[in-house]
Structure 1
Amino acid sequence: MGDQPPPTHADAGDKIPGDVGIWVFVLGDMSVFSVLFCLYLYYRGQQPLLYAAAQASLSTGFGLVDTVTLLTSSWCVAQAVHALHRQFTARARRFLLFGIGCGALFVCCKLLEYTLKLNAGITPATSEFYSFYYVLTGLHFVHTVIGMIVLAFMARASRTPGQSTLIAIDSGATYWHMVDVLWIMIFTLLYLLR
């Protein structure tokens, strides 16, 4: 009995990972983005040619790099949670730090993309499409920066394993995965949808 690791809340059956409060926040946040996505699709449907012309000026390469970077980061966070549940704290910290690095790469790529657009004279006032582009990617950018701060707190908290730490780590991971899901939706709508 003494050789077995203590049971974690993930072993308790049907309990969702993390604190219930993070799920309330995630559902609320996803609802706000869903309204913005629906508005984008509605207005795009009103002027498909204008939206398609503006969309053609986006770099799918930037969007693809951003997507791969965030997917890699989410994988790292999932590996960190897995490691921490098995009390491999050093491994969990390494994965979290790599996840933060991927988030930083995403932020740098997005800043470069914004700089190129602004230098070319493309602002939120350029077109309705670019109003949506800057609002959706800007809100997501803020979520990403907050998520990187959350990952840094997770890395620090992982040094003191325990039940409350596991709940906090699961909650932070839930937020980070939401950031990833939101980006996939944004990438699909702004960069890929024709």
Structure 2
Amino acid sequence: MSHEQPSNTLGIFPRAWSEEQAGRIPGNIPIWVGILSELTEFAIFFVAYFVAKYYYPDVFAQGPQGLNTSLGVANTIILLSSSYFMAKAMMHIRLNNRGKCQGYLWLALSCGCFYLIVKTWEFYWNNLQGLSTSTNEFYTVYYYMTFNHFLHVGWASCAVLWVIFRLRAGHYSAEEHSGLEALAVYWHMIDLMWILIFPLLYVLR
């Protein structure tokens, strides 16, 4: 009896990629070490949030009411869009379509920049309302969590720009794109952290 290899019936990815990459963990060991370190850092912030909320329930119930929820929602939409664009960029590099890959990377970078602009405006708006790290325990946690995330988006956006330059120089292809893939994994991790931060700070009472 002959055993045939399953065919790439959808025709979405090149046959070589679909066979060789199936079941492989995306990115590389260094990026996953970095991601685990970052997740540990964010986990500490989350623990601090719940401990502080336990001891100051009234402060944490009232705190979100002082924030500009509309700006928080806007940044959530921006980051979700950036993850979509990053996923599309990965799809096109696997199809060896560098032009479309670059286009989607520029869109992801634009989302990162928009996020930084909106978050900077939010910090400024908070300052106008007299909100700072010393206002109360809620805003102390809020600023530490959001500013830390702000920094991550900032240097990840710089990494996207670096990857675009490398892509233009011909360093990535359907056969070799581990650097781009590592960036995509890191970018999705940052977006995931915001999906957790947003309801904790802007929604939950």
Aligned runs of 1:61-76 on 2, under 5 Å?
61-76=70-85
TM-score (norm 1): 0.92
Q: Distance in 2 between matches of 1:120 and 1:192?
A: 19
Q: How much is the aligned-residue C-alpha RMSD, in angstroms?
A: 1.9
Q: Distance in 2 between matches of 1:60 and 1:111?
A: 14
TM-score (norm 2): 0.87
In the alignment, which of 195, 198, 201 is matched to residue 184 of structure 1?
Answer: 195
The CA deviation at 1:9 is 8.7
Q: 1:57 and 2:66 equivalent?
A: yes
Q: Which amino acid aligns with 2:55?
A: Q
Q: Which amino acid aligns with 2:178?
A: I
Unaligned 5+ runs, structure 1: none
| Rg larger in structure | 2
Q: Distance in 1 between matches of 2:176 and 2:163?
A: 8
The count of residues paired between Structure 1 and Structure 2 equals 191
Give the direction of change, closer, same or farther, for the CA distance of 1:167–1:10 in structure 2 (3 Å limit).
Answer: farther
Q: Distance in 2 between matches of 1:164 and 1:112?
A: 42
Identity of aligned residues (%): 29
Give the direction of change, closer, same or farther, for the CA distance of 1:117–1:149 in structure 2 (3 Å limit).
Answer: same
The CA deviation at 1:134 is 0.7
In the alignment, which of 110, 129, 132 is matched to residue 119 of structure 2?
Answer: 110
Q: Is the contact made by 1:158 and 1:165 (CA closer than 8 Å) also made in structure 2?
A: no
Unaligned 5+ runs, structure 2: 1-12
Q: 1:172 and 2:183 equivalent?
A: yes
Q: Distance in 2 between matches of 1:59 and 1:49?
A: 19
SS in 1 for 2:185: helix
Q: Is the contact made by 1:92 and 1:155 (CA closer than 8 Å) also made in structure 2?
A: no
Q: Distance in 2 between matches of 1:63 and 1:9?
A: 38
Q: Is the contact made by 2:76 and 2:194 (CA closer than 8 Å) also made in structure 1?
A: yes
Give the direction of change, closer, same or farther, for the CA distance of 1:6–1:138 in structure 2 (3 Å limit).
Answer: same
What's the counterpart of residue 40 of structure 1? 49
SS in 1 for 2:82: helix
SS in 1 for 2:141: helix
Q: 1:95 and 2:104 equivalent?
A: yes
Please list every run of at least 4 consecutive aligned residues from structure 1 whose deviation after the TM superposition is greater than 6 angstroms: none
